[in-house]
């Protein structure tokens, strides 16, 4: 915006028409900045209109540039908010499972729900990792509420994976192993993209929680 204003400034006021007529002391940088702000915001011309031929070409180009910026901003918002929503849904689900104390059902051989539940968590965590790779900026959207913060609730997924690997049922152990692999992939994204350190997945996730204002108890 300032660059465009500097482009207009040398041609003011001679290269422009003022709807209110010549302004005493006009034609300064402030007029150029005003014109640039009005043009790039795609609001149309205000009371300063270009008169020379080359300025009539330049100003629509700035308006086109402003429209492109607006389109990019809207597209960016529409892309990242579904990713943020999926992340918060996963966090709330883990929080609910923790409050329901699902971990105590791991050693019940009659529990048919647990393998499916662990599989669904694996899919959701994998999706969260893909979202974090594709939209790295979502990492910096922090949730103050621990129940809706994935950084705060992922340790419970680690606990489910750890307990599940020693369950008596084979399908539970397999589902827990898949969950642990999904958690390792998520931790790998944190290491590669955000420089989180740690020798194990729990250590990386603990650093993730601390960075988001939810240090492990």
CB within 8 Å of 125: residues ≥ 6 apart: 90, 154, 157, 179, 182, 183, 186
Tally of domains within the chain: 2
Task: Check pLDDT > 80 for residue 41.
Answer: no
- How many CB atoms within 10 Å of residue 149? 22
Residue 93 domain-assigned?
Answer: yes
Do residues 195 and 152 share a domain? yes
Task: Check pLDDT > 80 for residue 7.
Answer: no
The answer to whether 65 and 120 have CB atoms below 8 angstroms apart is no
Do residues 47 and 97 share a domain? no
Question: Helix (H, G, I), strand (E, B), or coil: what is residue 18?
Answer: strand
Do residues 12 and 44 share a domain? yes
Q: What is the mean pLDDT of the chain?
A: 85
The answer to whether 105 and 98 have CB atoms below 8 angstroms apart is no
What was the pLDDT predicted at 217?
Answer: 61
CB within 8 Å of 161: residues ≥ 6 apart: 118, 176, 177, 179, 180, 183
Query: pLDDT-based confidence at 139, cuts 50/70/90?
Result: very high
What was the pLDDT predicted at 39?
Answer: 75
Task: Check pLDDT > 60 for residue 24.
Answer: no
Residue 64 domain-assigned?
Answer: no
In tens, the pLDDT along 64-108 reads 878 888 888 888 888 899 999 999 999 999 999 999 999 888 877
Range of the domain at 204: 75-211
Q: Give the helix/strand (H/E) hosting 122.
A: helix 113-134
Do residues 105 and 176 share a domain? yes
Do residues 158 and 203 share a domain? yes
Task: Check pLDDT > 80 for residue 34.
Answer: no
Q: Which of 3, 37, 31 is nearest to 19 (CA)?
A: 31
pTM (2 d.p.): 0.74
In tens, the pLDDT along 42-71 reads 666 666 777 777 777 777 777 887 888 888
Do residues 118 and 35 share a domain? no
CB within 8 Å of 212: residues ≥ 6 apart: 142, 143, 149, 151, 152
Taking the chain, what is the end-to-end CA distance rounded to the nearest angstrom? 48
Residue 79 domain-assigned?
Answer: yes
The interaxial angle of helices 113-134 and 53-99, nearest 10 deg, is 160
Q: Which two tokens stand for residue 166?
A: 């020693």
Q: What DSSP character marks residue 217?
A: -
Residue 58 domain-assigned?
Answer: no
Residue 155 domain-assigned?
Answer: yes
Do residues 40 and 87 share a domain? no
Do residues 112 and 193 share a domain? yes
Do residues 150 and 84 share a domain? yes
Residue 68 domain-assigned?
Answer: no
Q: Which two tokens stand for residue 27?
A: 């034609």
């Amino acid at each position: 915006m300032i660059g465009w204003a500097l482009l207009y400034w040398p041609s003011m006021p001679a290269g422009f028409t003022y709807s209110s007529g010549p302004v005493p002391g006009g034609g300064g940088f402030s007029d150029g900045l005003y014109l640039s702000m009005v043009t790039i915001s795609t609001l149309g011309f205000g009371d300063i209109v270009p008169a020379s031929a080359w300025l009539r070409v330049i100003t629509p180009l700035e308006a086109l540039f402003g429209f492109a910026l607006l389109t990019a901003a809207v597209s960016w918002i529409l892309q990242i908010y579904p990713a943020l929503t999926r992340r918060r849904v996963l966090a709330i689900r883990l929080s609910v499972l923790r409050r329901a104390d699902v971990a105590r059902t791991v050693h019940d051989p009659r529990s048919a729900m647990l393998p499916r539940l662990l599989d669904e968590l694996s899919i959701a965590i994998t999706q969260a990792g893909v979202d974090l790779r594709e939209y790295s900026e979502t990492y910096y959207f922090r949730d103050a509420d621990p129940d809706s913060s994935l950084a705060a609730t992922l340790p419970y997924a680690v606990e489910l994976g750890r307990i599940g690997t020693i369950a008596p049922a084979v399908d539970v152990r397999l589902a827990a192993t898949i969950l642990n692999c999904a958690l390792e992939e998520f931790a790998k994204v944190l290491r590669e993209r955000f420089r989180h350190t740690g020798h194990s997945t729990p250590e990386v996730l603990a650093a993730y929680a601390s960075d988001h204002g939810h240090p492990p108890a």
